[in-house]
Amino acid sequence: MPFRTLDQLVARGKRVLLRADLNVPVKDGRITDLTRLQRLCPTIRELCDKGARVVICSHFGRPKGKRVPEMSLRPVANALEGVLGLKVRFAETCVGPAAEQAVKALTNGEVLVLENTRFDPREEKNDPAMAKELAVLADVYVNDAFSAAHRAHVSTEGVAKLLPTYAGRLMQAELEALEAVLGHPNRPLAAIIGGVKVSTKLGLLENLVGRIDVLVLGGAMANTFLAAQGVAVGRSMQAVDMHGIARDILLRAKQAGCEVILPQDAVVAGKQGSNAAVQTVPIRAIPAEAMILDLGPSTVQALVGRASGWRTVVWNGPLGTFETPPFDAATTALAQAIATETQAGRLISVAGGGDTGAALQHAGAADRFTYVSSAGGAFLEWLEGRTLPGVAALGG
Ligand code: 3PG
Ligand code: MG
């Protein structure tokens, strides 16, 4: 890897500015998922054990440069304290006198969380003056926020130019997993792309078809491709304005020798919801008033069979509306098959982006994948083949 890791950092007594992603999901003022905090713990503990003074910065929500009380990091810092099992201090600002004083009060092995970097309007502008104010708080910069690395902001990019930089353990793990998939993959390499947001994934498909051997399409993504080829998909969710692009991607795949697997059958219902009348139908027999809500059992069986021949898989997006059983069946069955192959040492499996992690957790398979990314948008941008500013800033 072309960047320094914590192995190279002599941390004792150093003030370490740790860019974390504390942007946890919240509903009705409560944190609904602690995964992001849990995954930061190895880096924080290692730095504390080595005697660093850990100064954590992060964004939280999109307060657009204003101090929005519901987007204060204070409750997140409290939650982090619980997850970490170590005292976590808090500073009312992320730069300036309050932050400077809080940092000064730290002793070796202590942890401080700075207030939301996006309360400062200069953060998202990548303002060099703010970068300087942040840099004076620390001796070195450790970035452990792969999931925010697609943003060229002060805390992810600007400040990295002013301090010696290192990748934290989570950043390192993310980059190693991604390298195993698109850097030097064992082949055949398959991508499973599902989910609903078709328009945001076309760039990713365009990049992938030139690099992978097999493309499996599911979710609303598949509906668009089916409809683009003249299959009647009834009232299924699809992006009608993307038909031309979908056909173009299929052509490119063909030229590049990438096999595209589309559903041969589907589980449909008249409306979304678990008590809807559910039917399994061949893909050319979708009733006009029905919606495709999951891949059908023949498709799933074929995919499970194929999975045993793959050597690397990258997965983004559920195959059906997995939150509402029985439309979780395809996602669960394929996730289980991939998990089993992975555990048998025959497959490298990497998943991420959006609600993919939640879908694999629902399937009871997440722990048995090679790696499940903590990132949403950053994972997708990486699949598009883009350089992530936060990763580029780590040196190289
Ligand atoms: C995320 O949750 O995807 C990251 O924290 C980035 O957040 P953002 O999309 O508001 O930049
Ligand atoms: Mg996002």
The position carrying tokens 């979908």 is 246
Nearest atom, ligand 1, residue 378 CA: 3
Distance 304 CA to ligand 2 centre (A): 31
> How many other C-beta atoms lie within 10 A of the C-beta of residue 78?
14
Residue to probe by mutation, ligand 1, list 21, 58, 157, most atoms within 8 Å of CB: 21
Q: Is 64 in the pocket of ligand 1 (CB under 6 A)?
A: no
Q: Which amino acid is located at 261 in the chain?
A: I
Q: What is the DSSP letter of 181?
A: I
Q: Is 148 in the pocket of ligand 1 (CB under 6 A)?
A: yes
Look at residues 234, 222, 299, 293 and name the one whose alpha carbon lies nearest to residue 265.
299
Question: Low-confidence residues of the chain, pLDDT below 50?
Answer: none
Nearest atom, ligand 1, residue 23 CA: 5
Q: What pLDDT score does 354 carry?
A: 82
Q: Is 151 in the pocket of ligand 1 (CB under 6 A)?
A: yes
Kindly state the helix (H) or strand (E) to which residue 291 belongs, with its residue range.
strand 291-295
Q: What pLDDT score does 276 carry?
A: 66
| Residues 6+ positions from 176 with CB-CB distance below 8 Å | 1
- The pLDDT tens digits for 195-248 are 987 788 988 999 999 999 999 999 999 999 999 999 999 999 999 999 999 999
Q: Give the number of the ligand closest to the Cα of residue 118.
A: 1
For residue 144, the SS3 value is coil
Backbone angles phi, psi at 160, to 5 degrees: -65, -25
Q: What pLDDT score does 200 carry?
A: 86
Kindly state the helix (H) or strand (E) to which residue 101 belongs, with its residue range.
helix 97-104
C-alpha 10/C-alpha 2 separation (Å) is 19
Residue to probe by mutation, ligand 1, list 147, 153, 154, 155, most atoms within 8 Å of CB: 147
Q: Is 62 in the pocket of ligand 1 (CB under 6 A)?
A: yes
Q: Is 156 in the pocket of ligand 1 (CB under 6 A)?
A: no
Give the C-alpha distances (Å, rounded to integers) separating 147 from 234, 382, 396.
Answer: 37, 10, 19
Alpha carbon 121 to its chain's center: 25
Nearest atom, ligand 1, residue 61 CA: 10
Asked if the bond preceding 326 is cis, omega within 30° of 0, the reply is: yes
Q: Give the number of the ligand closest to the Cα of residue 61.
A: 1
Q: Is 23 in the pocket of ligand 1 (CB under 6 A)?
A: yes
pTM (2 decimals)?
A: 0.93
Catalytic residue ranges: 36, 197, 354, 377
Indicate the burial class of 104 (C-beta count within 10 angstroms; 0-12, 13-18, 19 or more): exposed
Q: Whose CA is nearest to atom 4 of ligand 1?
A: 148
Q: What pLDDT score does 271 carry?
A: 66
Q: Is 381 in the pocket of ligand 1 (CB under 6 A)?
A: no
Distance 148 CA to ligand 1 centre (A): 6
Q: What pLDDT score does 25 carry?
A: 94
Distance 378 CA to ligand 2 centre (A): 8
Look at residues 201, 202, 210 and name the one whose alpha carbon lies nearest to residue 182.
210
Q: What pLDDT score does 339 carry?
A: 98
